[in-house]
Amino acid sequence: MCLSAIHWAGIRKLYFGADRHDSAMGGFDDEFIYQLMEGIADSPLLQPEIIDQKPCAALFHLWNQKQDRTMY
């Protein structure tokens, strides 16, 4: 399960026995994902590009102003 899903599901405690470096030794290397999201790696399969950041950020500002919002 990805960390974002764990966070958004409100799971309060995460147990794990291997960190990302241990996982990489077992063939499950996700360092590329960290580099891709930081913009220091390229992928022929996925080209992340941020668009419309200001209007999207404005939506979060509006959300934070709502008095009846549900916090997740």
pTM for this entry: 0.44
- Taking residues 25-37, what's their average pLDDT? 82
Q: What is the mean pLDDT of residues 6-33?
A: 85
**DSSP code for 68:** T
Give yes or no for a contact between 42 and 48, defined as CB atoms under 8 angstroms apart. Answer: no
Confidence of residue 34 (pLDDT cuts 50, 70, 90): confident
pLDDT bin (cut points 50, 70, 90) of residue 3 is confident
Q: Would you say 5 and 11 are in contact if contact means Cβ atoms under 8 Å apart? A: no
What's the Cα-to-Cα distance from 6 to each of 1, 49, 62, rounded to whole Å?
7, 24, 25
pLDDT the model gives residue 37 = 75
